[in-house]
Amino acid sequence: MSIDTVGAAETSPGNEQPFAALGLKPDEYQRIREILGRRPTSSELAMYSVMWSEHCSYKSSKVHLAQFGEKKPQTDILLVGIGENAGVVDIGHGWAVTFKVESHNHPSYVEPYQGAATGVGGIVRDILSMGARPLAVMDPLRFGPADAPDTRRVLPGIVSGVGGYGNCLGLPNIGGEVVFDASYAGNPLVNALCVGAMRHEDIHLASAKGVGNLVVLYGARTGGDGIGGVSVLASETFSEGGPTKRPSVQVGDPFMEKLLIEATLEVLHAGLVEGIQDLGGAGISCATSELASNGDGGMHVWLDRVLLRDQSLSPEEILMSESQERMCAIVTPAKLDEFLLRCNKWDVEAVVIGEVNASGRLTVDWHGERIVDVPPRTVAHEGPVYERPFARPAWQNSLQADAPTAERLHRPSTPDEIKATLLTMVAAPNLASKSWVTSQYDRYVLGNTVLAQPQDAGMIRIDEETGLGIALATDCNGRFAKLDPYAGAQLALAESYRNVAASGASPLAVTNCLNFGSPEDPAVMWQFAEATRGLADGCLQLGIPVTGGNVSFYNQTGDTAINPTPVVGVLGVIDDVARRTPIAWGPAGDLIYVLGDTRDEFGGSEWAHHVHGHLGGLPPAVDLERERTLGEVLVAGSRDGLLTAAHDVSDGGIAQVLVEMALASNAGGRCSVPEGIDPFTFLFSESAGRAVVVVPAEHEGRFVDLYTARGLPAAWIGVVDGGEELEFAGLFSLALAELREAHEGTLPRLFG
């Protein structure tokens, strides 16, 4: 097999190259030629194609993502910000926490189990590469209609992949979402989040510094799986019949990843590593170019030293392979033997594949032949940047004008109609119990899980001595974002913020996974620009910085894009996890309050969606100052021991919240609708800025003082009675057994 060398590229400038098949545009290919002063070799073309892909380079989103830095709130908690593998925040007592969410959408459609499993594996390595021990994962998932054949094809495999990989790693899955909507048919969203912790002094970054230091590739061997995998799959729209490109999806080995985690933490804590990077999207191309670009700027690689599972791989394939469970470390020569010894202890193979130098170039040899000679920054950080045209779509006004008013959509008005609606709603796939999914995950392994599904937020203990812990929630209503992308992104932020506060933790920082259709569609690009602006403005107003995240474009089939889905993850800190607030209400006699205002807001609501198949109007109004005030009351109520339980109000409204709290505690309650408000509106509206809280009678006075002092509206609506029914005074009663059957039966019926 002839090798395309740098020398050959210089002497054969007219050779045709398959740049279009690798996803490069003609002007991008021409720019590569200008950078190099010649045509690229086939190996250089492979590197540029994966590193300049939408997934790796953010070429269509960079100009908008800059707002997260420009509008960053003044805070001293951010230890590592946007640009590294994951953000790092200070949570006190010398502890730092790193967290991030990423997408593995298209690979999970092509091969559900491995696509989802390797999505978990990849985000875990991002956290590991910061020097942290991974502690928990979460999985925001979205699918087409729950009863659609393709949903039945992909959902069981995706759930099994998330659970299989995380369970084998021994990491608890503490939260996430399962959402069904026709816009995700043929394009499920598989977002994966990981959180880890470390002492401040253990933070590590991805850079190759120190001339003469060695580049060590360690972990699994490199194979043919995942060649061009996520980097290509995530950078192209699916055709009507499925993906037009089907590069092999990565294959995960969680047991190797577990060994890799322990080996990595050991070499880091032993001071044997100068810089570190995981191998995910774009594989060796990414690791070498980013390490060199972030360091002293020069690196030489002997590619033929890479340990292979498949000896037939070409150098281009080795550079592009996204085989899993691999890491790259920069090690001084004096510490190499100790590094290799520690890897061998964990049965992790390691080999020196390169050396840091002062050349300012990234050079790669294959059996003595020079196949790559490039400026590393042009590969890793100076790819194309597009200011894509964007415009508010012509249909946006008519969509917003189609509000779900009582004149357009029939609303239940009699007690019997409202009762029937409640039973229908709690059994809706989006509101029904997700225990069929979450029971496949180990939520309590490691022994530090404090709250997990179906709680508002996942919570884990970080420090056993002090009880210091963190809470995490991810949220997004894509229907809200379709109606108004700016407000929709802020509503996603507000809901995650509210969920974290409801658990008793103070919201601290944000990560995001921005899932949208094709950036080449001006309407989609407008949605993205608006959502990004909304999220940046919202984080600035709430005073919580964006620490990093992910953009996933081309989530569409043919011309049909998904609902814009800016998933927002909020991390909060709690001084002592012993004072967390669960959703299960307590003993008989405790008082039930609603905090916040309920308005007639049904645009994008689950009621309009599930009962009427309707999407139109405006989403609920956003009031971030109200969210901040509500959060303060929820956190202070937890800290002062005034709350037995708390649950944020969102999808399905107050009715859904009361059902979930009663079922979680297996205890009934008597509730009433406040005077002056329509019962249907009170029970099913999805107004933001609200929570239901349960207060012991002896603390009622202090609690009233707490919310009154902050000007937060509240209403007493009932009492826990410990019985077997949930009663709505003057309307109807429902047995908990009937509610449980409706709530818990939907997913098992659909998926077995």
Do residues 512 and 549 lie in contact, with contact meaning Cβ atoms separated by under 8 Å?
Answer: yes
| pLDDT value at residue 236 | 55
The DSSP letter of residue 37 is T
| pLDDT value at residue 228 | 58
| pLDDT value at residue 100 | 97
What ranges make up the beta strands (E) of 221-307?
275-278, 298-302
Residue type, 448: N
Residue 583 makes CB contacts below 8 A (sequence gap 6+) with: 454, 455, 456, 502, 645, 646, 647, 660, 661, 664
Domain co-membership, 235 together with 356? yes
Question: For the purposes of burial, counting CB atoms within 10 Å of the CB of 522, is it exposed (0-12), middle (13-18) or buried (19 or more)?
Answer: middle
pTM of whole model > 0.85? yes
Domain co-membership, 330 together with 415? no
Residue type, 463: D
For the chain, how many structural domains are there in total?
2
Domain end, chosen from 383, 400, 416, is at 383
User: Other CB atoms closer than 10 Å to residue 727's CB: what's the count?
Assistant: 17
Q: Is residue 693 part of a domain?
A: yes
Q: Is residue 340 part of a domain?
A: yes
H-type alpha helices, 87-148: 105-110, 112-128
Domain co-membership, 294 together with 422? no
Q: Is residue 682 part of a domain?
A: yes
Q: Is residue 328 part of a domain?
A: yes
With H, G, I as helix, E, B as strand and everything else as coil, classify residue 228.
Answer: coil
Listed residue (206, 210, 207) closest to 357, CA to CA: 210
* Structure tokens given for 122: 């990849």
Q: Is residue 126 part of a domain?
A: no
Matching residue, tokens 């406040």: 674
Rounded Cα distance between 322 and 219, Å, is 13
Q: Which residues are catalytic?
A: 55, 104
H-type alpha helices, 192-228: none
Domain co-membership, 338 together with 232? yes
735: containing domain:
408-432+581-752
With H, G, I as helix, E, B as strand and everything else as coil, classify residue 706.
Answer: helix
With H, G, I as helix, E, B as strand and everything else as coil, classify residue 38.
Answer: coil
| pLDDT value at residue 238 | 43
Q: How many CA atoms lie within 13 A of 128 on its CB side?
A: 29
User: Other CB atoms closer than 10 Å to residue 737's CB: what's the count?
Assistant: 10
Backbone angles phi, psi at 550, to 5 degrees: -155, 145
Domain co-membership, 418 together with 330? no
Domain co-membership, 260 together with 362? yes
Helix axes 700-709, 624-639, angle to 10 degrees: 150
Rounded Cα distance between 450 and 278, Å, is 30
| pLDDT value at residue 295 | 84
Do residues 116 and 169 lie in contact, with contact meaning Cβ atoms separated by under 8 Å?
Answer: no
Domain co-membership, 218 together with 293? yes
| pLDDT value at residue 248 | 64
Do residues 383 and 235 lie in contact, with contact meaning Cβ atoms separated by under 8 Å?
Answer: no
Residue type, 179: V
Domain co-membership, 651 together with 592? yes
Strands of the sheet containing 591-595, edge to edge, are 645-648, 691-695, 591-595, 714-720, 669-671, 725-728, 732-735
Domain co-membership, 689 together with 625? yes
Domain end, chosen from 368, 383, 398, is at 383
Do residues 295 and 356 lie in contact, with contact meaning Cβ atoms separated by under 8 Å?
Answer: yes
Domain co-membership, 596 together with 710? yes
| pLDDT value at residue 600 | 97
Question: For the purposes of burial, counting CB atoms within 10 Å of the CB of 231, is it exposed (0-12), middle (13-18) or buried (19 or more)?
Answer: buried
Which residues of the chain are modeled with pLDDT < 50?
229-231, 233-235, 238-247
* Structure tokens given for 453: 């599904």
Q: Is residue 167 part of a domain?
A: no
Residue type, 564: P
Question: What does the pLDDT look like over 342-385, one tens digit per residue?
Answer: 999 999 999 999 999 999 999 999 999 999 999 999 999 999 99
The DSSP letter of residue 447 is S
Q: Is residue 749 part of a domain?
A: yes
Which domain CATH number covers 37?
A: 3.90.650.10
Domain co-membership, 285 together with 427? no
Rounded Cα distance between 551 and 527, Å, is 13
| pLDDT value at residue 240 | 43
How big is the chain, counted in residues?
752
Do residues 406 and 624 lie in contact, with contact meaning Cβ atoms separated by under 8 Å?
Answer: no
What ranges make up the beta strands (E) of 332-383?
350-357, 362-366, 369-374
Rounded Cα distance between 176 and 190, Å, is 11
Domain co-membership, 661 together with 589? yes
Q: Is residue 589 part of a domain?
A: yes
Report the DSSP pairing between strands 173-180 and 133-143.
parallel
